[in-house]
Chain A
């Protein structure tokens, strides 16, 4: 291959590079628009729905053939009508409100504390050496292990539930934040050093943006830990909430209520995860779009 431009006329070859790069992008956008309305709405829903649909069918077949007694596995129709009863009766709304409130508050408290503490561990080697081992040891103790001693201190109040959920969120966020900051590439740190950036700028313009993807991974992990902690505390010590509703369903041997609880937790969790992903995308707008 030969490049046949006369000498001296190769004005800015790297600018030309950009011009050619953007053209396929425009083309792709145009064709996308044309194809999308005909084909995509169906495929977009079909693909993620295929697997749940298969499970639903298997479930229906299992109950219809009495492979499992209905006391253990109620029919989809039963679960649906229970769901409807719980919605119209207002039970779900009340329980969901209180559970959602606990999750949000726990995630906010544990998350903010985790971000702050994780940043300290990530930025300061001294702090990491001094507090790191103790933190890691305490982090190994499952949330459930904290319950007896926390009950003695805080009683069975709302405070106990929030603290346990916050603790469940705190650990993964501390780990993700400190690791995210420690793993900021050395070349970038050298740039900050050579340009003699102020401490605050090092934090806001280098460490935080560079650690963001890892931190968000931690936050999303924290969310799933928060649900686990929520169900645990509501099963142990509560008179309302989705977890309580499920315990209540189990004691009455109304597995349909338990399944409704599971579906609700899954649905809400999916929505919250999607919300977090959206926030993350908003904060990382500088990134090239993933094709």
Chain B
């Protein structure tokens, strides 16, 4: 199966330039992000790890366009991000499927803004249901799915619009460890198959090392990048390999500084 995600025309390059963000709390400015600078190449898999409150989820909200009040610039293929757009999809920690819509209808929502004709729409929904391995569950309602299946439906909803970048906000954080390990493999498969750029926020260092090309370590108060570590290990990666464990420990040290 060939899905025509960005990698072919080399789109999905993200440039984050000196991004800072403050919230007003009790009349005082509370800085949540300070001087974030990061370039992400098309088709790259980048994880962002950090203690809670380091602003990693805020960064994703800025990239997806849910919040446009910040200093600095976030450029996608050279264009400034002004709000949500078809070039970015997001998966939240809670699947956020609409409980009154079936799996297929939920996924179709991801195509609504694209204005594709209905047969094409149905084809792409079916294609993405197959991609995340939910065949046979098209007409199920979210409450009939397990947490892992619901999260896969949420991934399909984010991918069906064929974004250049998929943002993942702790997508596996609420799942049990078995489902989690399984979905990590699935994420890798989807990433390889579609060539979409993936930016994942996680608090699980092992998950970050297992999946990513690079791991971005963030520090809190104010949220800033303290290290960017490339993971130069061939896939499939061995979690028990000495190299893997060394890298994991380096990141954990960087986190606890």
Give residues in A with beta carbon < 8 Å to B: 3, 10, 12-15, 17-18, 21, 187-188, 190-191, 193-198, 201, 205-206, 209-210, 284, 286-288
Contact = CB atoms under 8 A, between A and B. Distances in A.
A15 B149 contact: yes
Given A12-B182, A193-B66, A284 B113 contact: no
Nearest to A21: B146
B96 A187 contact: yes
A194 B148 contact: no
Interface stretch (B36-44, B47-55, B97-105): B97-105
A21 B145 CA distance: 10
Contacts of B110: 195
A288 B99 CA distance: 10
A196 B182 CA distance: 31
Interface of A is mostly: helix
A141 B141 CA distance: 44
A197 B110 CA distance: 8
Given A18-B146, A209-B100, A195 B178 contact: no
Contacts of A190: 66, 96
B99 A286 contact: yes
Nearest to B152: A14
B66 A194 contact: yes
Contacts of B100: 209-210, 284, 286
B70 to A, nearest CB: 17
B96 A188 contact: yes
Given A14-B146, A18-B145, A286-B99, 8 more contacts: A12-B133, A14-B147, A14-B148, A187-B94, A187-B96, A195-B113, A195-B157, A288-B144
Given A197-B113, A286-B99, A10 B178 contact: yes
B64 interface: yes
